[in-house]
Chain A
């Protein structure tokens, strides 16, 4: 049984401009110990997905339908009391902006040990010891003295470490990291990502990593889901996605990553911006920005299919699936992009190792 199974999740926000469907029939699974990436531009519905898992969607948002099975139990049918026992204890979250994710009026240590006392029933001293150990583990020097520091006495990177320690405080089974390194500079980012990865292995925690940075995904994740306008457009293992992207949007995202030694004058971008979710384009929601769009794309909404066979995606763990009409045979043209791989394709070696 998968640790987390999200089936046909639909989340709507009832705004004054109209109904915004932030998540549209989203399905994915996360296995125990797996690192799952969610990529997409701002407004693709990544964070809403994360908040749904914690059942923290607030007015005017509402989870319309679908189920979220965590260890086989549907989170959406639980009472508030039961969900509270899971939040922070079994599913924990690392927030994007550590500076505002820490309460300025309490010490770092107090904030972390509060959750430990609450969920694990530790007394004051035990919680304190555990907190100091955690702070030490996430790489905060002199954890003992830093315990009683206030958030403003920490640097940005340290604050993020503290937030990670807080998320790990009760040994969660699933860690949702919502752009954990966006607010940090690149050198700290690399360190923090390494730490998240190491700690996840050490604590045997699954990760759902949300980011708009494909580089971060490549570093940390096993499998990836690319989201666009609230829908998954491509799901694949990291290697498949990078060496053989099947959806034009994924290709667009990748070609807009700057590279060292790049000779292009300008950075390639995907034209225009994400559509207004109140008024999502008909058919494939990506068609107004897609260089390969045809007339059919404006009419038919592409299902998530296996690009090889064109059959509907089964939701298998290692399956590569993309939502483009190309693979259902509705397009007359072809997606004529090429992927240049510098160096050796690691899939050749990995292929044998995979079970």
Chain B
């Protein structure tokens, strides 16, 4: 439950960090972040320098270009978190339909579909994502594509396996014997009974995708340099880990974006575990009853 609250809090913070405008109309006017994440503050106020340590005015200090780090971490969550959810939504949705069709029909359809999955699995996911970014260039939807392409195969394989076992149940035959269409048999009777492991997998994957996006950002791929995005921010301040100006290490420049990634992924994994326990509750209860008797 703590995980859920943390995720909700982070989501709210990022959404309300800066006003959101859709085609000129302000949809969300609240601005929690004190500064524009792109503003180079020392141009406006010479008293603010590069790598200023955390202070009351700038709770997380400033970065290499003298931008307010707190604002950047807040706004940076938008890209990281939304890519995580969008990617998992698309991959899980597509993998679900794909795996359901393969598992339900079986035979040569299954054979062909699963060999395609094997082909996708043959590439290491992050390397494939790198290649796609290299081809398509950086940007939000390019990043989504880079993670969707290798990502759906895992869900397809998972749901297919589940469906192979669920479709043995007599209620599937019973539904067909009542004249239901294949489509409604699959999506009304088979999938709802097979979806539990997929939900667990999906909730755990969001964290993985966020880390992946950050990793690409850290490698300098994905978003253009200077974009407020956790991974890209880490990359921009990479040199500070070795030595900062004046011999001191401006720890705030790496700790805060890195910490944001850490907390988000950690919370996401806690949710995943929680979901897992909740969906598994029935079998646990059985075990307990067996023990009590």
Other than A59-B106, A88-B177, give 8 A-B pairs with Cβ distance below 8 A.
A84-B181, A89-B179, A93-B174, A95-B170, A100-B171, A105-B192, A118-B178, A118-B180
Q: Mark B166-192, 1 if CB is under 8 A from A, else 0.
A: 000111011111111100000011001
Query: By the criterion CB–CB under 8 Å, are B179 and A101 in contact?
Result: no
Residue in contact with B173 in the complex, picked from A92, A95, A163, A169, CB distance below 8 Å: A95
Which residues of B, 196-231, contact A by the 8 Å Cβ criterion?
none
**Bound state CA distance, A308 and B192, in angstroms?**
58
Chain B residues near A119 (CB, 8 Å)? 179
Given contacts A56-B173, A59-B107, A101-B170, contact A84 B179 (CB under 8 A): yes
Which residues of B, 87-145, contact A by the 8 Å Cβ criterion?
106-107
**Bound state CA distance, A77 and B188, in angstroms?**
28
Shortest beta-carbon distance from B76 to chain A in Å: 40
A236 lies within 8 A of chain B by Cβ: no
B193 lies within 8 A of chain A by Cβ: yes
A136 lies within 8 A of chain B by Cβ: no
Shortest beta-carbon distance from A270 to chain B in Å: 29
* B182 nearest CB neighbor, chain A only: A80
**Bound state CA distance, A59 and B178, in angstroms?**
20
Chain A residues near B177 (CB, 8 Å)? 54, 56, 87-88, 92-93, 95
Instruction: List chain B positions with a Cβ less than 8 A from chain A.
Output: 106-107, 169-171, 173-181, 188-189, 192-193
**Bound state CA distance, A118 and B171, in angstroms?**
17
Chain A residues near B175 (CB, 8 Å)? 103
B contacts with A: majority SS: helix
Query: By the criterion CB–CB under 8 Å, are A166 and B181 in contact?
Result: no
Which residues of A, 34-79, contact B by the 8 Å Cβ criterion?
54, 56, 59
**Bound state CA distance, A311 and B106, in angstroms?**
47
Residue in contact with B178 in the complex, picked from A88, A97, A100, A105, CB distance below 8 Å: A88
**Bound state CA distance, A95 and B171, in angstroms?**
9
Shortest beta-carbon distance from A107 to chain B in Å: 13
* A163 nearest CB neighbor, chain B only: B174
Query: By the criterion CB–CB under 8 Å, are A166 and B178 in contact?
Result: yes
**Bound state CA distance, A350 and B170, in angstroms?**
40
Query: By the criterion CB–CB under 8 Å, are B193 and A166 in contact?
Result: no
**Bound state CA distance, A55 and B192, in angstroms?**
25
Q: List 9 A-B contacts (CB under 8 A).
A: A56-B177, A84-B180, A85-B179, A87-B176, A95-B170, A95-B177, A101-B171, A104-B171, A105-B193
Given contacts A85-B179, A87-B179, A92-B177, contact A103 B171 (CB under 8 A): yes
Shortest beta-carbon distance from A110 to chain B in Å: 10
Shortest beta-carbon distance from A32 to chain B in Å: 21
Shortest beta-carbon distance from A4 to chain B in Å: 16
A86 lies within 8 A of chain B by Cβ: yes
A293 lies within 8 A of chain B by Cβ: no
Chain B residues near A103 (CB, 8 Å)? 171, 174-175, 189, 192-193
Q: Mark A91-114, 1 if CB is under 8 A from B, else 0.
A: 011011100111111000000001
**Bound state CA distance, A115 and B193, in angstroms?**
19
